[in-house]
Amino acid sequence: MDPKQNIIKKNRLKLAHTEIESDDDYEYEEVRPRKKKIRKKSNHQKRQIIIAVSVFAVCLIALIVITVIYKQPGSFLDSTRNETGGTLPQKGSDSLFGENVFSKELPQDEVSDNIALERAKSYYMKGDISSAVAEFSEVTASDASDKDKATAYAYLGIIEDEKGNFNAALNFYKKALKYDKNNIFVLKSIAASYKNQGNFSEAEDYIDKAISNDSKNSDLYVMKGNILYLQKKFTDAIKAYQEAVLIKDDNPSALYNLAQSYMKTGNEVRAEEYYLRAATADNDGRISSLSYSNLGGLYLKNNDYPQAAKYLERAIKLAPNDSSNYYNLGIAYLKMGKKDDAIAQFQIAETKGNDDAVLLENLGDAYSSLKEYEKSIDVYNRLLSINERNVTILLKLGELYYSSGYINESLQYFQKITVLQPLSEYSRIAFINIGNIYDDMERYEEAVEAYQSAVAIKPDDPTALYNLGIVYKHMGQNEKAINTWKESLKSNSENPKPQIAMADLLYDEGYLDEALNEYSKISEKWSNISEPHFAIATIYNRRGETDFAEKRYKKVLELNNNDELIMKSYINLAAISLSRKNEEADKNAFNYIQKALVKEPGNPEALLTLGNIYYERGSFNNAIETYYQVIKSTNSNSITATAYNNMGKAYYKMKQYKKAVQTFNLGIEQDPTNEDIRLNRKAAVDSYESEMLN
């Protein structure tokens, strides 16, 4: 795994707000990104909370990889991991069949008159290997017939082969050949021993000798195909397996291995055909279960999830202890939108494969992608119990604990990495994460120290330098921030983020002309990124140059690569249109805000603008209802106060002065420093008192 996959995502320090034009009679709320507050949880809370997420990602893509991550105030660096969706390799899914399985395939000799030989065979079959070896050795040293000696040497070869003593086995097999040079079993066994040693040339020679003596033996062609397959000579292996199938069309090993070879050559259609034939020929045996398993994986890869589920369910029925099938079935259910069924399968896989590190890591990733953080954390901790120095898992746990709100635990995992591998790439990433967390906690000195530790590992690290500049800005050390961003830019001149950060700083300090000039340069060099266009639009909007602002906001929509800025552009385009106060502009405003709400239903800033549109139309009841929706959808005191203020104005327009006063009071409770609401309340109180007097 690329350690960059577990850098915490930080939003870049960016142009803080979206400007919305206001007039003398009406107040509009600026749309501002809000900085995420980190709240340390009490022990009681820690026992009870894990974030419950209702959003279920039906389409979880292949594998997410981020190579350079940038910091922004508020959220985490994209945790990049293998996204749930790929199949987990089956145990034995790339295996071949048709090898010498000596406990099942023995020399096809007739019962001998040699009592010692028959006694030796009996010992062998009972598992009394030492007695068998003694008896077979006695036969080879006696005046037994050539056939009996060949059989005895063959068995001695089998015994050594089963121990993995291939050279000793070969020695016995070759002695057997001296007494029976055309013995098919012995020739095949020699080929198998050479294959197991990786001596494929000799293996091919001996299997060809066996075939020349028995050209109608389907299993010999299977063995030849296996030898070729292991050399990655898949086209030649296919020819050998096809010969085996021509001789015996229901040979399960030949059919299955043929399917495997077609998969290696990318011919999935033929592979599917032979997996199905192998499954039928094997009559619910191991080859059958693996065929269905591989068919399930094939259909899963090709996004045919119902078919994948069908075959995986068959595989599970035949091999109920194969944990990987449950995992892949869970993925199929997940893709079909059956989240609960998917989780149930993942849990079975976890039980069946509790000592399978690869499976557990995949399950941890799957749970994480479903926002099932508690389950994911549990699985990763089990992996740590297998290997407590697994820095990949430590990175993932650090990220997960952060996502779940456990900041101190998150820090501990990242810090452990810096101790285990102090000068590694993993440690560099951990230091960046530690810096990001300290920055969010406003522990700036510690954040600086963490980023500098990352830079010490990699002096030209553009990410660490960029984030270090962000901290310097938060500390008010603007000169240091600019110099650090320049270093980041020097290490990666194709990265626009440091230049955007420097332009943002000019904007924040009020140097709008200089900021506009810098943003314009950035937009010319990187015309396909949204940030500079949005920033330019914001500056024009602040100046009241709405035609220019509108053009740039539309450019953000055209680029369609930043959801947050698309949403804000829709809202600001609606506000610009609304400010023009004509029928066509009103329609445009309504269309823009509807598009924003389709993209993100319940967005409080969009709802606030929709309420403003109703207000301008004189549809005060609709405006009031929409402002109530704003209040329900936000935790922001500022936005809530604005909604109450605008609602109070709507009541005022309707001459419902008492309700207006009450609503303005609620607004002041949310934002006691808002003088505009106080002035509006005074006007409402005066009107209410005048009404009472009359």
| First-to-last C-alpha distance (Å) of the chain | 78
Q: Is the dihedral of CA 175, 179, 182, 186 positive or negative?
A: negative
Supply the DSSP symbol for 9: E
* pLDDT at res. 388: 85
* pLDDT at res. 108: 53
pTM above 0.75, yes or no: no
Question: Residue 109 falls within a domain, yes or no?
Answer: yes
CATH number, domain at 165?
1.25.40.10
Cβ atoms within 10 A of the Cβ of 396, count?
A: 26
In the numeric block, the tokens 């002695």 are attached to: 175
Low-confidence ranges of the chain (pLDDT < 50): 1-5, 8-85, 100-104
Question: Residue 378 falls within a domain, yes or no?
Answer: no
Among residues 214, 232, 253, the one where a domain terminates is: 214
Question: Residue 364 falls within a domain, yes or no?
Answer: no
Question: Residue 534 falls within a domain, yes or no?
Answer: no
Question: Residue 647 falls within a domain, yes or no?
Answer: yes
Assess contact for 72 and 10: CB atoms under 8 A: yes
CA-to-CA distance for 463 and 215, rounded, in angstroms? 65
Would you state the structure tokens that stand for residue 649, as one six-digit string?
Answer: 């104005």
Among residues 160, 180, 214, the one where a domain terminates is: 214
CA-to-CA distance for 485 and 505, rounded, in angstroms? 11
Read out DSSP for 475-510?
A: TT-HHHHHHHHHHHHHH-TT--HHHHHHHHHHHHTT
Cβ atoms within 10 A of the Cβ of 390, count?
A: 17
Read out DSSP for 257-319?
A: HHHHHHHHTT-HHHHHHHHHHHHHHHTSSHHHHHHHHHHHHHHHHTT-HHHHHHHHHHHHHH-
- In 392-507, the DSSP E strands lie at none
Residues in CB range of 146: below 8 A, 6 or more apart: 179, 180
- Report which of 450, 568, 601, 436 is spatially closest to residue 36, judged by C-alpha positions: 436
* pLDDT at res. 582: 87
* pLDDT at res. 29: 28
CA-to-CA distance for 469 and 500, rounded, in angstroms? 12
Q: How many domains does the chain contain in total?
A: 2
CA-to-CA distance for 304 and 306, rounded, in angstroms? 6
Identify the three-state secondary structure at position 86: strand
Question: Residue 623 falls within a domain, yes or no?
Answer: yes
* pLDDT at res. 16: 26
Identify the three-state secondary structure at position 423: coil
Would you state the structure tokens that stand for residue 350, as one six-digit string?
Answer: 């976890």
Q: Residue 626 is part of which domain span? A: 618-694
Question: Residue 571 falls within a domain, yes or no?
Answer: no
Among residues 214, 230, 248, the one where a domain terminates is: 214
Question: Residue 209 falls within a domain, yes or no?
Answer: yes
* pLDDT at res. 472: 96
